Amino acid sequence: MEAKRQEIIDFIWKGRGLPRSDAVRLRANVSNPITTLELKNLAAVDELVVTMDSLTSHIYRFRSKVSNGRLALYHAGHTASPWAAGGDITISAFLARGYDILAFSMPGYGSNAIFSQSLATTSPHDSFAPLETEAFTPLQYFVEPIAIALNYVMNRHDYTDVRMIGISGGGWTTTLYAAIDPRIRVSYPVAGSLPLYLRTTTCGAPEMGDWEQSLSGLYALVDYSELYVLGGYGAGRKQVQVLNQFDSCCFWGTRYRSYEGKVRQVSKGLGFGSFKVVLDSSLIG
């Protein structure tokens, strides 16, 4: 398991390892960007700016007034901001329980500007394909800002527990990041992925996703079922994958039944950690 995790890390960072840098540009005590509801237990909001060669990522840290000593990472995926599409409710719920929160968007979404290339008209991620070479993969754009922001706060605060939740593209990001960084003790990828053999382009919306979901060379090294196992592997770790049975976008239905039992069996056999799927069968809209 550790060898497989290292293989993924080596593919993404080409042998340099999971980033240890905590180099962020801090904008402390910025205005609360969430105006749609009252954030109870909010002490302050900071903005952490992480700059890579071709990407500037803006991460928002919501600090709790009365802390439970725990940290939550929330990844909003393909949304205009981390607090869009229900993100405000999620952030509010964690704050009310005493968590500090780091809130993320995907590359090219929200304030995260990609400035090294022109963006594709359908998705900024489609233009990543020709950038992947033996020496570089754009997958770094998706996960390196998370590692650096997490390093920054962990080096300055003694959090006893780190959890990660993400929806849609943020669910995919949660699946990948939990697989490579065991500091994420509990992860909740929501509507983020299915193994490639289960995806369809014939019923409902196409499910192959953007470039990062299926076209990177990563998937010659690891499949999604292995990522699920890795995401929950380790002492005290678990992954709970949430899927929506009537999802109007993707990963709908009950297809997870073809892999959940096997992934749970493998996870149990390893002796550390666990994996399960929770199906939301509610009808929305």
Residue 31 has pLDDT above 50, yes or no: yes
Q: What is the pLDDT at residue 285?
A: 47
Q: Which helix (H) or strand (E) holds 73?
A: strand 70-75
Residue 115 has pLDDT above 80, yes or no: no
Query: Is residue 260 assigned to a domain?
Result: yes
Q: How far apart are CA 271 and CA 274, in angstroms?
A: 9
**What is the tens place of the pLDDT at every residue in 181-212?**
999 999 999 999 999 999 986 655 568 888 99
Structure tokens at 208: 């192959």
209: left (phi over 0), alpha (psi -120 to 50) or beta: left
Sorting pLDDT into bands at 50, 70 and 90, what band is 55?
confident
Looking at 27-41, 122-136, 264-278, which range is the least confident one? 122-136
Nearest to 214 by CA among 117, 130, 126: 126
Task: Count structural domains, the chain.
Answer: 1
Q: Which domain holds residue 47?
A: 2-280
Indicate the pTM of the whole model. 0.95
Place of tokens 């890579």: 52
Query: Is residue 263 assigned to a domain?
Result: yes
Query: Is residue 128 assigned to a domain?
Result: yes
Query: Is residue 285 assigned to a domain?
Result: no
Query: Is residue 259 assigned to a domain?
Result: yes
Q: How many helices (H) and strands (E) does the chain have?
A: 7, 10
Helix, strand, coil shares of the chain, percent, nearest 5, are 30, 25, 45
Q: What is the pLDDT at residue 120?
A: 41
Average pLDDT over residues 206-220: 90
Q: What is the pLDDT at residue 110?
A: 83
Q: What is the pLDDT at residue 278?
A: 98
Strands in 83-152 per DSSP E? 100-104, 113-114
Residue 30 has pLDDT above 70, yes or no: yes
SS3 at position 237: coil
Query: Is residue 131 assigned to a domain?
Result: yes
- CATH number of the domain residue 30 falls in: 3.40.50.1820
SS3 at position 266: helix
Query: Is residue 199 assigned to a domain?
Result: yes
- Percentage with pLDDT > 90 across the chain: 83
